[in-house]
Structure 1
Amino acid sequence: MESKINLAREKLKITYPLKDKQIETLQALDLGNDCISILPTGYGKSLIFQMLPWVLMKDEPGIVIVICPLTSIMQDQVMTLKEKGIRASFVNLQGTVAYSYNSDNEDSDESKPQTEYYKKSKINVVNAGVNNCTEYLSLELNKDNIVFALAITEETALLKCASGVENVITVTMTDMEMIKSGDIEILYTHPEAMFTPVLSRILRSKVFQQKVCCIAVDEVHMIEEWGEDFRPKFKQIGELTALFPNAAHLAVTATATPSCIQSLSKILQYINPTIIKVNPDRPNLFLEIKTRLSNLQKFSKYDDIVVPLVQELKTKRDKFPLTIVYVESLEALGYFYQFINYELKEEQYIGEAIPENRIFGQFHKDYTSQMKQHILFELRKEEPKLRLVLATVALGMGLDAPAITKIIHCRPPTTLVKYFQEVGRAGRKGQKAEALMYFNNNDLAKNRKGLSDAMVQYCKTKDKCLRLQLLQYFGFNETKFNGPMYECCSNCRQLQ
């Protein structure tokens, strides 16, 4: 097995040592065990299933099918894999089209039918004379000029244009015949796509029955969160376990309670699964809870939050600690955005006054695909120009965003699982980070849909460490924090 792990490391250009629980998961799968791995945000869960085409290979690399809840996760991971020369694609929600990427860093294979297509795309970009993101956004796809701009329904292509056309990444579309041939190493798909006629036939084909070596479920906790009403196909993923009885089966997440693990095992039809987990405590993350004004103060209830943010952003600008602010509604987001825009004026830009140079932005379901992709791309950087993001949705799930230093919740999420997922996006490099959550009595009202008792208790308990409360909810009784108590959480600071 060691030689196969080394081959996978070479293919994925991994130069650092694997972590203990990554290796333990790979060993469990190699032994034929179903496996659920609960590993902290930033631990490297996706790397595990990305190594499997070679770790589980027989005569040739196998196919790993990754079931994923969000297109943005698929885009981010496929783009990274393609930059390393891995044959990876993601399928649209309807299961009719596969998407991938091609970059200047990727070696072209002259025998592939897409090669001329890639070249034509790049030549057309050059001939268009574009040299920055704003102009790229104006490009359109037509039969004479095959250039993919940023918007292709929900599956969007991100053009890396920080240094002009030298770093162009183009999206490539293909029909499902290429997927059907099995000429792929990692295939990402939504749960819904797995049950569509086209992809369903492909999965049952002789090629896939022979070559699929693993069915991996990423962010598996979403089965519990979305599987009832919002996206019921999540609860049918277990049918794939039965469809591929000889393949390995892996589910990964950063958060799962003991009862959730039992429920997931049943839904996924896993047999005596190996459970691998790590204490998810983030010692570098300071946890804080504050109260805010009641909802009777429609907008002024937010002033205690937004005013200090603006003052610090105005002073520090590109040195402002990268912060995600989760707000409760589009109306609230609009208030935050207009307030910051009015206060910063021209100081909101680093360099030329164009959207790509703005130091704050917004991310919500009604925002354009182009600007969503710009924000996701910025957050992948070690030193992004973007310093503050206002969001109404679960921005960042599955995204490698190393520079995030602070998470602010203007209102508590409905569950501790959601909360822990979101605060886990801060401090991924090990840098000191903060998670600040505001609440009022309206936020914790019994008639709030989906609100868990555990979240209410977490907000209201003042005489117990916030860190320990969180860990005990997920089945751990000890913290990894060993610093001064005033750096642990706001409750510990008050109890000193």
Structure 2
Amino acid sequence: MKELGTDTRTDGKIVVCGPLVSLFEDQVSKLQSVPMIKSAFKEASKEVDEMIAKGDVDIVFASPEALVGDKDWRSIIQEFAVSLIVIDEFHTVATWGGMEEPNEEKAFRKWFKYIGELRSLFPDASLLALSATCTKKIRKLVMEALCLQTENLYVVTRSPNKTNIKIVVNKVESQIESSMCWLIDTIKVKKMDIEPMLLYANSIKDVSNLYKFITTEIQDFKPYVQMYHSETTDQIKSLVLSDLQKCNHDLKIVIATSALGMGVDIVNINTVLFYGPPRSIVDLVQEVGRVGRDGSDSVAFILYNHNHMKFLDVEVKDLVKLNDGCRRQNLLRNFISEKEVSEVAKKESDKHSCCDLCEKVCKCGNCMKLNVELYFGPSGAFASDLQLSSDSETISYDKSLYLHMYESDTDIEDLTDHD
């Protein structure tokens, strides 16, 4: 979205407001190759902050906390001749700023909500707001927060549809040991031939439990599994991010919270597994989009139990609980118009590569699972015998197939136990 201001100078400064230092670092690094342009982000160092304060930087990157929440810094930048304000990842104005929460105290970073105050500091500047994952609802909230007027507003939208990523949803049991035993079996069979994957969970506790489960069951696999969350050391984070941006690396499974999100350009990974869906539809699209970035066939496995369902936004619940229709179209309706969704549906030639529901009704005669589906998760060998209903607590299984996985019949019967 762009709103034109009255300041038409070409030599004015540009202020870029964004959510993450990692994004600033990447953008400043890329701008270094542009001649005659100086760019920097606040808090990179004391020396850089002094350089920005003196007005020696053409493009200034900073957080909402600095631009709006810090009175001293706010008074400094107010003296700048700014011709353009850029809001990067503008969906965070609503999601992190707590605009969807009735209580501001629940906001993750409350100053995001007040980014619109930059308009009063630089009333003549144009404004450019950018996001790759903005729902129609969030767009409306952000337009209000940024005081955007429709008369001078240009809105360009693109569908977030990733046609190369198949969406598969399955219900699992509440115990990690029983819901993820297929992964252990897969690792034992494939060993180092297992394709690398991202495994998302909604809490540090779940990440830790998943890591402990995998590395305890297969101890010699531990060097190839890593955790990534807000309490992970900076050193480990850097190592993980460095590996994920290489075509060849030793990591096989990265178990992460949403901390592994925006600003991460992951290569050569085609499987993402969710142990519990993200709370919001925006986070879901962000995290699904971490894989298949080279356009190759990929799969997003969404596993959930009844405990996970308690904390989901209604849009994610609707997607997970869908029993017929198309999950992809259900997801896209949050972002684009019904007409655009219809256009997406017309272009879907191979329904079996769209989602698990479309696969069931596909009659192309050439249906086949992707390689990653054969190796991983509930749509692979394990799930073909252990079918989980999306609207039922019951599980059907062939008991004889799993005798080798459990010490007794009692252990097998535990598969049908539910809280």
What per-residue deviation string (whole Å, max 9, x for no partner) do you get for residues 393-433 of structure 1?
24121222233322111101112122112112221221111
Letter in 2 for 1:87: K
Given the alignment, which residue of 116, 119, 122 partners 1:241?
A: 119
Does the residue aligned with 1:426 lie in a helix, a strand or coil?
A: coil
Contact between 1:327 and 1:410, CA under 8 Å: does it hold in 2?
A: yes
Q: Indicate if the aligned counterparts of 2:230 and 2:259 stay in contact, CA closer than 8 A.
A: no
CA contact (8 A) 1:68 1:190 kept: yes
**Among 331, 334, 337, which residue is 2:208 paired with?**
334
Decide whether aligned partners of structure 1 residues 440 and 187 sit closer, same or farther in structure 2, where only a CA change above 3 A counts. same
Q: C-alpha distance in 2, partners of 1:82/1:343?
A: 47
Determine if contact 1:288/1:437 at 8 Å carries over to the other structure. yes
Could you tell me which residue of structure 1 aligns to residue 72 of structure 2? 198
Question: Displacement of 1:391 after TM fit?
Answer: 0.5
Cα displacement (A) at 1:185: 3.0
Q: CA deviation at 1:237?
A: 0.4
Paired residue type of 2:159: N
Deviation at 1:173, TM superposition (A): 4.5
In the alignment, residue 155 of structure 2 is paired with which amino acid?
Answer: I
**Amino acid aligned to 1:271:** Q
CA distance in structure 1 between the aligned counterparts of 2:205 and 2:282, rounded to whole angstroms: 25
State whether structure 2 residue 38 is matched by structure 1 residue 177: no
**Counterpart-to-counterpart distance in 1, 2:221 and 2:228:** 21
2:142 aligns with 264
Query: For each residue in 1:25-51, what CA deviation from the matched residue of structure 2 results, as whole angstroms up to 9, or x when unmatched?
Result: 7xx67xx269xxxxxxxxxxxxxxxxx
Confirm or deny: 8 A CA contact 2:228 2:259 kept in the other structure.
no
2:133 and 2:52 mapped to 1: Cα distance?
32
Contact 1:290 1:437 in 2 (8 A): yes
Structure 1 residues 180 and 489: CA distance shift in structure 2, 3 A = same
Contact 1:363 1:392 in 2 (8 A): yes
Q: In structure 2, the residue corresponding to 1:277 is in which secondary structure? A: coil
**SS at structure 1 position matched to 2:212:** helix
The answer on 1:462 being equivalent to 2:323 is yes
How far residue 257 of structure 1 moved from its aligned partner, in angstroms, is 2.4
Say which of 151, 154, 172 aligns to 1:292.
172
Q: Does the CA-based 8 Å contact 2:24-2:41 persist in structure 1?
A: yes
Over 3 Å counting, the alpha-carbon distance change for 1:308 and 1:173 in structure 2 is: farther
State yes or no: 1:186 paired with 2:59: yes
Query: Per-residue deviation at 1:76?
Result: 3.1
Change (3 A) 1:81 1:314: farther
Alignment of 1:18-57 (within 5 A): 32=4
TM-score (norm 1): 0.64
Q: Over the residues paired in the alignment, what is the CA RMSD in angstroms? A: 2.5
The verdict on how the C-alpha distance between 1:388 and 1:187 changes in structure 2, with shifts beyond 3 A counting, is farther
Counterpart CA distance in 1 for 2:141 and 2:208 is 39
Q: Identify which of 39, 42, 52 aligns with 1:88.
A: 39
Are the counterparts in 1 of residues 271 and 299 from structure 2 also a CA contact under 8 Å? yes
Query: Which amino acid is 2:23 matched to?
Result: I
Residue matched to 2:335:
474
1:486 and 2:352 correspond: yes
Q: Which residue identity does 1:470 align to in structure 2?
A: L
Asked whether the equivalents of residues 306 and 336 of structure 1 are also in contact (C-alpha less than 8 Å), the reply is: no
- Separation in 2, partners of 1:280, 1:347: 35
Answer yes or no: is the 8 Å Cα contact 1:68–1:188 preserved in 2: yes
**Higher relative contact order, chain-length normalized (CA < 8 Å, sep 6+):** 1
Q: Is the 8 A contact 1:33 1:274 kept in 2?
A: no
TM-score, scaled relative to structure 2: 0.75
Q: Hey, what's the Cα distance between the residues in 2 that align with 1:266 and 1:426?
A: 33
Contact 2:201 2:255 in 1 (8 A): yes
Deviation at 1:269, TM superposition (A): 1.1
- Could you say if the C-alpha distance between residues 459 and 226 of structure 1 is closer, same or farther in structure 2, counting changes exceeding 3 Å? same
1:378 to 239, 243, 247: 243
User: What does 1:402-417 correspond to in 2, within 5 Å?
Assistant: 402-417=267-282
Matched, 1:78 2:28: yes
Identity %: 29
Aligned twin of 2:94? 224
Cross-structure match for 2:383: none
- Equivalent residue of 2:333, what SS? helix
Determine the structure 1 residue equivalent to 2:414: none
Q: Which runs of 5+ in 1 are unaligned?
A: 1-24, 35-55, 92-97, 100-171, 349-357
2:111 aligned partner, one-letter code = K
- SS, match of residue 483 in structure 1: coil
Tell me which of 402, 411, 424 is aligned to 2:289: 424
How far the C-alpha of 1:462 sits from its partner, in A, is 1.4
Can you give the 5+ residue segments of structure 2 that lack an aligned partner in the other structure? Answer: 99-106, 363-419
Structure-2 residue corresponding to 1:283: 163
User: Cα distance, 1:218 vs. partner?
Assistant: 1.2
Task: Report the equivalent of 1:389.
Answer: 254
Name the count of aligned residue pairs.
344
Q: For the Cα contact (< 8 Å) 1:314–1:344, is it kept in 2?
A: no
Separation of aligned partners in 2, 1:78 and 1:381 = 21
